[in-house]
Structure formats: C-alpha cells, structure tokens
Amino acid sequence: MTRSTEITIEEGSTNVYADLGYADAAEMQRKSQLAAEIARAIKARRLTQQEAAELLGIDQSKVSRIIRGQFRGVSEAKLLELVTRLGHDVKIVVGPVRRRAGKIELQFA
C-alpha cells in the first residue's frame, strides 16, 4: 500500500526574514550578509576564534555567536567595523532614488 503525501511549496522572496514576518527584515538580511562575510574572512585567513577575537577586539564568545549567525544585539555599524578590521574596505554610496523611499544594499567584491 502506498500513500501519497501532498507537499505544498511556496516560493519565497529574496529575504528569508521578510518571509518569516520580521519587522526589521531588511536590516536582519544585511546583518546576516555581514556576519557571513566575517565568517568567510576568518576562515580564509585561517584564524582560530581566539585569534579572530584578538584581532577584532571582541570576546571569543561573540566571534562564535556571529559566525553561527547569532548577531542580534550587534549593530550594523559594529559588524561593518569588524569587516574593516578583517582587511576589507567598506564603501557607502548615497544617491537619489526614483521611488518614495531609499534602500540600503550590500555588495561584496
């Protein structure tokens, strides 16, 4: 006897936090991108979490949380600072928009 199970698939947006209903979805997505870049840079430099903590000027436990995507309580500004301490330039471009409200977008080179 075979049972058929119907699975409903819903196509999401490009922001999982918006799909989950977070009020601050755009900020959460940017912070997750920054945290992922921090994790990637630490791995690329073959740093231990302790070495990364010393370089970044934060506790090893905070490095661990950021790498695991637990960045609530860490500001975007702090994450940008950590990215620069890992040897990346951060460029912020401000320009006019054609719609009612502007947006913040991250691009990684």
Domains of the chain: 22-85 (1.10.260.40)
Q: What is the mean pLDDT of residues 35-50?
A: 96
Q: What are phi and psi of 23, to 5 degrees?
A: -65, -35
**pLDDT > 70: percent of the chain:** 98
What span, in angstroms and rounded, lies between the C-alpha atoms of 89 and 108?
10
Which sign does the torsion angle of CA 59, 61, 65, 68 carry? positive
Residue 97 pLDDT level (bands cut at 50, 70, 90)? confident
pLDDT at 40: 96
Contact 87, 52 (CB under 8 A): no
- Calculate the alpha carbon distances from 61 to 9, 14, 51, 56 in Å: 37, 30, 12, 12
What span, in angstroms and rounded, lies between the C-alpha atoms of 104 and 63?
25
